[in-house]
A and B are shown apart, each in its own frame.
Chain A
Amino acid sequence: MADATIPHAAPMRRPLAGRVKAAVVLFAIFAALPPVAAALDDPFFVLIGTRILAYAIAAMALDLILGYGAMVSFGHAAYLGFGTYAVAILSSYGVHDIFLQTAAAILVSALFALVTGAISLRTRGVYFIMITLAFGQMAFFFFISLSAYGGDDGYGLAQRSTLLGSDMLENDFALFYATLATLVALFWACHRIVGSRFGRVLTGIRENPTRMEAIGYSPFRFQLAAFVISGCMTSIAGVFLANQAEFVSPAFMSWHRSGELIVMVVLGGIGTLSGAIGGAVAALLLEEALGALTEHWRLWFGLFLVLMVLYSPNGIAGLVKQVANRGRKS
């Protein structure tokens, strides 16, 4: 029997290895961006790049529960908000250290995710979507009424976060690479989680909750744990977004933002982690490109979404595969 186990270590990893490869390629392209931007003398690229990286973190975190746990959270922008406001509020009290700010963001997010997740996970399907949406709005309104930090209008940061006492993140390039490093680290963490005992149970619950209960798992505990992990990771994205924009406002946590995060995950193909990263890149570049062409870019983006859902159920990844298949046939 024992010898039979050795070859079985491989199959679950093989598709994962492909995903890692895709992610590594994306990371390499990212890493090459600042030198290219410098050569083109267009530092704006680096700022956009940082924004894309931050959203990639958030989309990947969302994919952890959406793709692997089948939990369609429509309130994830709240965690972006917790991250951004952790930076703003702490820095207004003179706490600029990025680790302390991140720790605060994670702490608040964990609490919020624990409470709202516990309530939301008592429900299924449409209820779950709408309840997470409503809780997201609750957080949104809370920050709107936070008049000390500008309420609706938002709040400009006096300075970016410090890293180990140094103000190196004031440099756009340094901020970019710090965000990239965080994305890589979190990708690695997600990758490990997905392939762990916990990840296997989470994925099993997605596949067939009845089966999982019948072999002794209570879905709730695992889903809630994943929900909390995902929320905390998303808030880290918020920390970087605040630094990138040097400005925070409730707009970071509007329900549109939550919708856009879902769009990113689906665009790249759900349940693949690297897909969420690619999806964030694709969605934000599309936004930028359409925005450069017309002030009514939302119309075209919306149209693109509707058409994608109606004609390419598996996102861009699915579309590429479809086209490739058709090409092979003809």
Chain B
Amino acid sequence: MSSLEIRHLKKSFGALKVTDDVSLDVRSGELHAIIGPNGAGKTTFISQLSGQLASDSGDILLDGQSIMRLSMPKRVHLGLARSFQITQVLPHFTVLENVAVAVQARSGSSFRFFSPVAGDAALNARAMAALGEAGLADRADVQASALSHGEHRRLELAIALATEPRVLLLDEPLAGVGGEDADAFVAGLARLKSRFTMVLIEHDMDAVFRLADRVSVLVYGRIIATGTPEEVRSDPQVRAAYLGEEEEEVA
């Protein structure tokens, strides 16, 4: 399993400092939750880690090696996978194909031009395994665009799993999922927990406190607290800034 170290990471959009000198250690094997109010910069942070967005300065180390200068695809090949807050799937592909193409990225060359890929049993088997873990195996043959919102979230997770990550970055996997569906999803995440190092962004506090080993709180692009769920829950600064109590005092 792998660790992720983030050193003085910065990112501005114009005058807006969205990631403001963030340093963070994600320990090997832990599930590290990041919480923060809307617009705090959580998605931006994940995008910087995954390489989708270039950082202004700072450093990101995966198992001690800097990955700052690597493109997003290269980072994926080192085992860094992300899911998206706003679902990104291949709409005209079937669910299985969506996942199989992710498996394919990590197994063998994709510069093979003639043998049919649809019948590649090895790829499909591994894709089905990932779908099974995300609880979507029974929908494998459906076109992705026909999935419900909850199913889209599961597919998003299955695709990330299929890239065989060592570190999994999940951006609000539960966004818009409610009720029993959410409970089942959380249970699914709990089962994955011991297998990957995970960074989980989530608004659902119940889920966060149930799943996380440690929690960091991001407000206006700064980490204002890091600790166990209990520590963070009782941190007065967090209560003030994030849980919305006594805003006057902080200001």
Contact = CB atoms under 8 A, between A and B. Distances in A.
Q: Do chains A and B touch in the complex (CB under 8 A)?
A: yes
Contacts of A207: 90-93
A213 B52 contact: yes
A28 interface: no
Contacts of B38: none
Contacts of A29: none
B172 interface: no
A208 B129 contact: no
A208 B152 CA distance: 15
Contacts of B119: 9
A5 B102 contact: no
A213 B100 CA distance: 15
A9 B113 contact: no
B94 A12 contact: yes
B244 interface: no
B110 A214 contact: no
Contacts of A327: none
Interface in B53-109: 71-73, 76-77, 81-82, 84, 88-94, 96-97, 100-102, 104-106, 108-109
A65 to B, nearest CB: 14
A216 B47 CA distance: 14
Contacts of B84: 214
B76 A214 contact: yes
B73 A218 contact: yes
Contacts of A215: 76, 81, 101-102, 105, 159, 162-163
A225 B109 CA distance: 14
Interface of A: 1-2, 4-13, 189, 192-193, 195-201, 203-204, 207-208, 210-218, 222, 225
Interface of B: 50, 52, 71-73, 76-77, 81-82, 84, 88-94, 96-97, 100-102, 104-106, 108-121, 124-125, 128-129, 132, 137, 140-141, 159, 162-163
16 contacts: A5-B128, A7-B141, A192-B113, A192-B115, A195-B116, A196-B115, A196-B117, A197-B113, A201-B110, A207-B92, A208-B90, A211-B159, A213-B71, A214-B76, A214-B81, A216-B163
